Amino acid sequence: MTATCTLTDCGTTPDTDYSMDDYQGPEARWCPGCGDHSVLSSVQRLLATHQMAPERTVFVSGIGCSSRFPHYLRTFGFHGIHGRALPVSVGVKLARPDLDVFAVMGDGDCCSIGAGHWIHATRYNVNMTVLLLDNNIYGLTKKQTSPTTPQGFKTNTQPRGSYLPALNPLTVTLGITNASFVAQTADWAPQHLYETLEAAYAHQGFSFVRIMQRCPVWTSILFQDAVRDPARVAVLVHERGIRDAGTEELHKHHIDHDPSDLDAARHLAEEGGMRLGLFYRDASCPRYEETRRQAAYTPAERIAVLEKEFDRHAV
């Protein structure tokens, strides 16, 4: 494999053929048994399947265990600050719509300090793939209650148990105007995880994927019943949904759900329980990068426009 380019002037040789190894960065330093390893493998498989040129692929993260993601991929990456993965990744996509952009966040990263960005990025519906790796805890900072921590679960910040009911990322996202793709999967269902990533990447719009992710150190008990007993997990099935025969064979509890039905999607999310599948998809939702599209400028023209604007505010 050969490729010679920069971020601003990309080009690959015609015989480029990427394998999963071409996307492999340094050895991942997550704890043994961490669900992030499974997500990373599925993402590398997705990159290789679609032959995404590393120089045209960008992973953006905030802060947390999951936010080490860009370090472990041989693509462009931006390891930002807590809760700011979405504004950075939206900015990248608006500036360079030709790039494949992924945002990777943890539950504290997205649902707490980043909650405002989460709402508006969903409404903008920019064409990008968003992965919420939800282990129900602040893991990197050693077992503090996060917005998705189950009520009553004991942590180092609430040793008598989490005070409030957990925030549900699915109901929140489904309640935002112009939401266009909402799915849920799990790190211990690798083929379903991969098929979900495939569907999210193929969707033209803001693809929000919540991945239930095990933390073997701080929340090892939270998902163990679902892992050990497939009957506890329901799979959403529909011809326009996410289909994986192996997952459907293992998990006998199936729910027939049309992902174009927003009211039904909201009802299913509100009911609770552990469900895998595509809750909602609407390809007709307007995308911000298209509604705001302006005439293309050369670099010199961009500088001239900026200088003119600066002159207006000179004192």
Q: DSSP for 144-193?
A: B--TTSPTT---SSSTT--SSPPP-HHHHHHTSTT--EEEEEETT-HHHH
Domain map of the chain by residue range?
20-312
Mean pLDDT of the chain: 91
**What region does 290 belong to: left with phi over 0, alpha with psi -120 to 50, or beta?**
alpha
Q: What is the pLDDT of residue 294?
A: 62
- CATH of the structural domain 20-312, one choice from 3.40.50.1360, 3.40.50.970, 3.40.50.10490, 3.10.20.30: 3.40.50.970
3-state SS, residue 248: helix
pLDDT at 8 over 60: no
Highest-confidence segment of 2-6, 41-45, 80-84, 143-147: 41-45
Task: For 196-248, write each residue's pLDDT tens digit.
Answer: 999 999 999 999 999 999 999 999 899 999 999 999 999 999 999 999 999 99
Q: What is the pLDDT of residue 15?
A: 58
Task: For 153-175, write each residue's pLDDT tens digit.
Answer: 999 999 999 999 999 999 999 99
pLDDT at 1 over 60: no
pLDDT at 14 over 70: no
Q: What is the pLDDT of residue 273?
A: 83
3-state SS, residue 12: strand
Chain centroid offset of residue 278 CA: 14
- Spatial separation of the C-alpha atoms in residues 54 and 51, rounded to whole Å: 9
